[in-house]
Amino acid sequence: MTMRDIPPVVVGRLPLYLRTLCYAQQEGLTTISSHELGRRLSISAAQIRKDLSMFGEFGKQGTGYPVAALIRQLRRILHVDRVWDMALVGVGALGRALLAYQGFAKRGFRIALAFDNDPHKIGQRVGPFVVQDVARLERALQEADIRLGVIATPASAAQAIAERMVQAGVQGLLSYAPIHLQLPEHIQVEYIDPVIYLQRMTFYLGAVDQGAAAEALAEATPCGQD
Amino acid sequence: MTMRDIPPVVVGRLPLYLRTLCYAQQEGLTTISSHELGRRLSISAAQIRKDLSMFGEFGKQGTGYPVAALIRQLRRILHVDRVWDMALVGVGALGRALLAYQGFAKRGFRIALAFDNDPHKIGQRVGPFVVQDVARLERALQEADIRLGVIATPASAAQAIAERMVQAGVQGLLSYAPIHLQLPEHIQVEYIDPVIYLQRMTFYLGAVDQGAAAEALAEATPCGQD
DNA sequence: TAGATTGTTAATCGATTAACAATC
DNA sequence: TAGATTGTTAATCGATTAACAATC
């Protein structure tokens, strides 16, 4: 179990199961069926059973899965039965929101270091953090043994920052910069670009009353990214 | 073309093609091959050609795709050859970062209205915005004919807000709340929960030196979400 | 012309679903 | 016991890749 030959699409669902199980636990459920878990996630019960069965036999016929035990198992499988320290680069509006976000600590993550290259920001306090000079990135990451990075820089800076973090030993990157990073294969990378998600939706939304559409037409929207 | 029977996975890649083509255009390229586009996105050339061929014949043998024309086509296909007004609910740290984000306007989106339920925030100016009372949500959305919503509330408020927005005519929702929303099938929903992405990465990161791991162990990480 | 690259087909690969025996 | 639900198999469904004729 916890093999590395699990289909990536299955790995992608495990955190959703964990999150949903946590809510169920807070509601007082001690047991949950694949059907109920699937209902809460709009995923089929068969899929959930198949996914979980890749890691062991966690359920019991007739009653379903024990919530607390399954949470423990998933946290072990996902390696969030510990706290992961992260380094944040880019203390703009988004970076500050991430520094303030309480949801990381509650689910196994903690921003330990924050960097920027703006002399006005370096040394500044942001909540419990002091913004570090990005020039110190490599040294600070190695000293703190950081393995996860969060990129909240402009797109134009992201590739170079990513390479430096990888050089300093980072193995996973969560990038909010709207650009695809070129990195060694063994590096885990996940992207969050809200515009990508919005455009996936507008594909399906289609036709609009032409009053609103005319208001700001085709060439009014430049291609600019950054 | 622009049919609704395009595989969702293909629709999901189109915005990536558009974004990458825009960068290529900024670099001065007038033409790009499927191979080069694929290289920049870590996607196979065959896949890109197959995806694009579902909407028409945009390329030319021997030379590739004309960048400007393909950008125009993709913007038309994705319906971002216009500006989409959006309503934001939840003006916390994340909401403020979204209100300040310049990347929306540059790529076809604009936050037109911002709502909160905190009396201290209502009426407050945030950049060019005045925070509205969420009690006015339905009326304001209908008046402004808003079809896209962004949820940046705590998870506990998200489902109710989503239902109210849908009631007011919203057809697509981008939710930053870490919870799966139960909504009618015809509503488009996309989710951004950074912890989900982080946990997908830590699955692969695995073993850690036990000094760091011991520092904050299993039961130190509660399940709490909100 | 020769080299490059598209659009498309067929083959391969992978993921989801349906169904059910086992069993709590 | 009877009803519910798991784990697993086989069948279905969908997505990706390889290959190549067409052609710029």
pLDDT average per 10 residues of sequence, chain A (226 residues): 78 98 98 98 98 97 98 98 98 98 96 98 96 98 98 98 98 98 97 98 79 46 53
| Same domain, residue pair A146 and A60 | no
- Please give the pLDDT value at position A224: 54
- Please give the pLDDT value at position B218: 43
Q: Across the strands, what pairs with A110?
A: A85
Structural domain contains residue B178? yes
Residue of A152, A154, A146, A151 lying closest to A162 (CA atoms): A151
Residue of B181, B54, B85, B107 lying closest to A205 (CA atoms): B85
Phi, psi of B173 (to 5 degrees): -130, 130
Whichever domain contains B59, its CATH number is 1.10.10.10
| Same domain, residue pair A66 and A106 | no
Structural domain contains residue A187? yes
Structural domain contains residue B18? yes
Residue of least CA–C1' distance to C8: B50
| Same domain, residue pair B88 and B151 | yes
Structural domain contains residue A221? no
Structural domain contains residue B156? yes
Tell me the helix, strand and coil percentages in chain B, rounded to 5. 45, 20, 35
Q: What is the pLDDT of residues A80-136, one digit of tens each?
A: 999 999 999 999 999 999 999 999 999 999 999 999 999 999 999 999 999 999 999
Distance B46 CA to D4 C1' (A): 47
Sequence-separated (6 or more) residues with CB below 8 Å from residue B53:
none
Give the structural domain span for A162: 84-194
Nearest to B71 among A180, A223, A226 (CB): A223
| Same domain, residue pair B65 and B163 | no
Q: Across the strands, what pairs with A126?
A: A129
Q: What is the pLDDT of residues B30-50, one digit of tens each?
A: 999 999 999 999 999 999 999
The answer to whether B46 CB sits below 7 Å from nucleic acid chain D is yes
Which of A54, A77, A100 terminates a domain? The answer is A77
Structural domain contains residue A224? no
Ranges of chain B with pLDDT below 50? 1-2, 210-221, 225-226
- Please give the pLDDT value at position A206: 80
The answer to whether A60 CB sits below 7 Å from nucleic acid chain C is yes
- Please give the pLDDT value at position B206: 80
Which of A30, A56, A77 terminates a domain? The answer is A77
Domain count, chain B: 2
Q: What is the pLDDT of residues B150-164, one digit of tens each?
A: 999 999 999 999 999
Distance B7 CA to C18 C1' (A): 22
| Same domain, residue pair B28 and B47 | yes
